[in-house]
Amino acid sequence: MKVFHSEAEVGPELGPSAVTIGKFDGVHSGHRAVIARLTAAATEESLTSVVVTFDRNPLEVVAPDRCPEALVSLEQKLELLAGTGVDATLVVRFDEAFARVPAERFVTEYLVKALRARRVFVGSDFRFGAGNAGDVALLRRLGEAHGFTVELIDDVVGTAGERVSSTRIRELLARGEVDEAARLLGRAPMVRGLVVHGAKRGRELGFPTANLSPRSEGLIPADGVYAGWLVDNGARHPAAISVGNNPTFEGVPQKQVEAHVIGETIDLYDHEVEVVFTARIRGMTAFRGIPALIEQIGDDVRVARGLLGLEG
* Tens-place pLDDT, residues 198-214: 765 655 566 899 999 98
The helix (H) or strand (E) run that includes residue 166 is helix 166-174
* Cβ–Cβ under 8 Å, residues 134 and 145: no
What's the chain's average pLDDT?
A: 92
Report how far residue 139's alpha carbon sits from residue 144's, in angstroms, rounded to the nearest whole number.
9
- Residue 206 vs residues 177, 197, 269, 302, 303: alpha-carbon distances, Å: 28, 16, 18, 14, 17
- Residue 213 vs residues 26, 97, 105, 178, 269: alpha-carbon distances, Å: 21, 33, 42, 21, 11
Q: Is 238 left (phi over 0), alpha (psi -120 to 50) or beta?
A: beta
Inform me whether the pLDDT recorded for 245 exceeds 90: no
User: What residues contact 260, with CB distance under 8 A and at least 6 apart?
Assistant: 202, 207, 208, 209, 210, 239, 240, 241, 242, 297, 301
pLDDT band for position 272 (cuts 50, 70, 90): very high
> pTM here?
0.91
**pLDDT tens per residue, range 113-163:** 999 999 999 988 899 999 999 999 999 999 999 999 999 988 888 777 788
Runs of H (alpha helix) within 175-289: 178-185, 201-205
C-alpha triplet 77, 78, 84: angle, nearest 5°: 95
Looking at residue 300, its pLDDT comes to 95
Looking at residue 177, its pLDDT comes to 97
- Residue 229 vs residues 179, 210, 239, 251: alpha-carbon distances, Å: 14, 12, 5, 27
User: What residues contact 255, with CB distance under 8 A and at least 6 apart?
Assistant: 214, 220, 223, 243, 244, 245
pLDDT band for position 26 (cuts 50, 70, 90): very high
**pLDDT tens per residue, range 53-69:** 999 999 999 999 999 99
Report how far residue 54's alpha carbon sits from residue 63's, in angstroms, rounded to the nearest whole number.
15
Looking at residue 293, its pLDDT comes to 85
Give the three-class secondary structure for 259: strand
Report how far residue 245's alpha carbon sits from residue 265's, in angstroms, rounded to the nearest whole number.
24
The helix (H) or strand (E) run that includes residue 77 is helix 74-82
Give the three-class secondary structure for 116: coil
* Cβ–Cβ under 8 Å, residues 93 and 101: no
Sheet of strand 88-92, all strands in order from the earlier edge strand to the far edge: 2-4, 88-92, 48-54, 17-21, 117-123, 149-153
Report how far residue 136's alpha carbon sits from residue 124's, in angstroms, rounded to the nearest whole number.
7
Q: Which of 224, 208, 219 is nearest to 269 (CA)?
A: 208
Asked if the peptide bond before residue 238 counts as cis, ω within 30 degrees of 0, the response is no
Provide the 10 A C-beta neighbour count for residue 204.
11
Q: Which domains are assigned to the chain?
A: 2-153 (3.40.50.620), 189-307 (2.40.30.30)
Inform me whether the pLDDT recorded for 107 exceeds 80: yes
For the chain, counts of helices (H) and of strands (E): 10, 12
